[in-house]
Amino acid sequence: MSDNIALTQSDLVNRLLDNLPSGYAKAVVNTPNSPFTTPSNTKWLRATVIPFNTESDAATGCFKITNGLFVVDSFYPKGSYDNAQLMDHQAIKTLFENQTFGNTQCQTVSTLTIGDTGTWYQIQSSIEFYMEGQ
C-alpha cells in the first residue's frame, strides 16, 4: 500500500463506475476533473474525494496514514420521491462499507437526505476511507 491520493481516488471512482447502482450509466456520473453535462430529467451521480490530513510515524517518519471522505451525491428529478433513492444508497453502502481494494480501505458509510434542492431531490452517501504506507 502507498500513501498516494491519486491511487486512492482512482480506486474509489473506478469501483463506483464498475459497479453502478441499477439504472445508471457511466455517462451520468460526474467524476473529478472530467467533463460533464448535467442531465435534464434523469437521475445522476456526483463523486467527490476529500483527503484529510496525513499523520506520520513520529519516530521514523517513514509510515503515513491519510484519512478521507468519498462523497457520492445522488440526484433525482424533482417530484420523484420514492424508495429508489434509498435502494441506490444501499447499493453504494454495500459496495464500499468495510471493504479493502487496491490502495484503499473503506470504513463506515452514512447517508444524508438533503431533499429538494429546487431542481433536484438529493441524497448524499459519505464513505470514510484511509490509505497508508510510505
Question: pLDDT for 3-16, tens place per residue?
Answer: 688 899 999 999 99
User: In terms of Cα–Cα distance, which of 35, 26, 9 is closest to 129?
Assistant: 9
* Structural domains of the chain, count: 1
| Alpha helices by DSSP H, 78-134 | 84-96
Burial 8-27 (b: 16+ CB within 10 A, else e): bbbbbbebbeeebbeebeee
Q: What is the value of pTM for the model shown? A: 0.90
CATH of the domain at 28: 3.30.2000.20
Beta-strand ranges (E) seen in 19-119 are 29-30, 44-56, 64-77, 100-101, 104-116
| pLDDT tens digits, one per residue of 20-75 | 999 999 999 999 999 999 998 899 999 999 998 877 766 666 677 889 999 999 99
Q: How far apart are the first and last CA of the chain?
A: 8
Coil, helix or strand at residue 45: strand
User: Domain range for residue 95?
Assistant: 5-133
Q: What is the DSSP letter of 7?
A: H
List the Cα angle 91/111/84 in 5-degree steps: 45
